[in-house]
Chain A
């Protein structure tokens, strides 16, 4: 048993791609530049993050003020934009924030690429799982970093997210052990969002990148692969884009956190918005279980999808599931931005739509397989392209 696991890992490790380094041959396709870009934006956030640490103060009383100081006073340049002074501190914050946004965006897009092109199939299982874990850790970095500003949005985002695990105490069997509350309390450093929470979030925010960076470096040292497989021009271009956007749209600070007043509506970083809308629709236990199941599904997709082909139309069911995920992500984000949620009506509708679409997807898959079997039996080679609509 153990030997088999080891062999399996051995085989996948040789083909392991953290940042699409082995896909150099496809460099003319921007889809495969996402790997190196991911690594590049990560380095940008890490470097700017460390610079921010020089001025950032991780306390409930000082955090917001220190952010304002970084934004408006540190390293003033002899330059103004729309009447605002441009500061080195503000630029660093902008690079960190937009670098992080770019990082998350590309991680998402890359996951979708890997999904729709079935790159998670043998021998890509491990690469896929690591990419997926990377997305989760990236999002954790995002939410822990967000709290550091100590503004209203961040405060309530942190409180809501960390109240979710408390409901795990309602689960049968493992509920009474109170592990749900314990998870919440370990992150909060107590039963409320406070100083201990900032300290812990600060440590996590920094620690996640630190540990991963070391592991990735070990990997690169061992495999002797090239770190950023990209020419200098796009790299410089991205940097210029980050700088320009940091000047035009300086990173927001919002209003200082006020534990006795919740703003209406509450929003968060853009990549959490869909999740927020989902939380409005479900009982609170499912607010935690739903994303948990989604993560679980994502991690084991390579073992669930036993279809033969790699092209999207050669495995209709999984393509439908993926398309549904993309559409829900976009739709929920739009709904929360317009503050629309009719809680009596929507969940019922959404459930039904989901079930119908999944059933149709399954039907399509069965149809497709039958047609292929028939074609094989008739001795005709399968059509080069599956029909677009089943």
Chain B
């Protein structure tokens, strides 16, 4: 091809630009349907914050009786079932959220109605108010707030030191702890200020908590703090 005159080059550049713009627009227009193909519960043309529809719904269950967790450091594991939208033709699918009920040796504040603070502060966001605001019973979700493994309640802190990377708690915290097998995050369930405080490891926050009520002899879990991957 011979070299075209500069004038022609100018014109070619302009034409290229004119044809590129609609091509780009078309590509952009394809993003939304593609996203909806991969994730059918996204609204049309909504590519901003497309995960808002994914809230899971829990099923209210009795997780323990008061007798089962009568003495300090008694605990009980349970599994809470949550339905979440899965992008399969069947739609909703159940996921299990393992949890642990713990009887602490003293009462701690779960929610301060005046300031809205405390481990149950998330409850307001789902439009409820906690009935139990101070208690020696606390329920944690056992899904690690770090990367989603299931952590364990370890009744003897020495086992934490032996099996979870060699962390030795300071004397006031030498009691039952919670520890995650995956990246060795260690939590103190009985910290009076921040129950579930991270003592060691990469976890960015304390474990999520359950909202519960006491009905007669039963401890009933109604909701779990949203967030994370089940």
Return B207 CB to nearest CB of chain A, in Å: 14
Q: Is there a chain B Cβ closer than 8 Å to A61's Cβ?
A: no
Known: A260-B150, A266-B182. A192 touches B230 (CB 8 A): yes
- In the docked arrangement, what's the CA distance between A174 and B97, Å? 29
* Majority-rule SS of B interface residues: loop
Interface size grouping (class) on chain A: 35 or more
Are A199 and B88 in contact (CB-based, < 8 A)?
A: yes
Q: Is there a chain A Cβ closer than 8 Å to B84's Cβ?
A: yes
- In the docked arrangement, what's the CA distance between A343 and B86, Å? 36
Residues of B contacting A167 with CB < 8 Å?
204
Q: Is there a chain A Cβ closer than 8 Å to B113's Cβ?
A: no
Q: Is there a chain A Cβ closer than 8 Å to B61's Cβ?
A: no
Are B87 and A182 in contact (CB-based, < 8 A)?
A: no
Are A283 and B39 in contact (CB-based, < 8 A)?
A: no
Residues of A contacting B95 with CB < 8 Å?
191-192, 194, 259
Residues of A contacting B54 with CB < 8 Å?
181, 185, 190-191
Are A190 and B165 in contact (CB-based, < 8 A)?
A: no
Give the residue name and chain of the B residue nearest to A286 (CB).
B202
Interface size grouping (class) on chain B: 35 or more
Are B229 and A159 in contact (CB-based, < 8 A)?
A: yes
Return A349 CB to nearest CB of chain B, in Å: 14
Return B139 CB to nearest CB of chain A, in Å: 16
Are A342 and B149 in contact (CB-based, < 8 A)?
A: no
Interface string of A326-359 (1 = CB under 8 A from B): 0000000000000111111000000000000000
21 contacts between A and B (CB under 8 A): A159-B229, A163-B147, A163-B148, A163-B229, A167-B204, A178-B52, A191-B84, A191-B229, A195-B86, A196-B87, A199-B88, A259-B95, A262-B149, A262-B180, A265-B181, A266-B181, A280-B202, A284-B147, A284-B202, A341-B165, A342-B167
9 smallest beta-carbon distances between A and B, as pairs: A190-B86, A264-B181, A192-B230, A280-B183, A262-B149, A192-B95, A163-B147, A163-B148, A160-B147
Interface residues of A (CB under 8 A from B): 156, 159-160, 162-164, 166-167, 176-178, 181-182, 184-186, 188-196, 199, 259-266, 276, 279-285, 287, 339-344
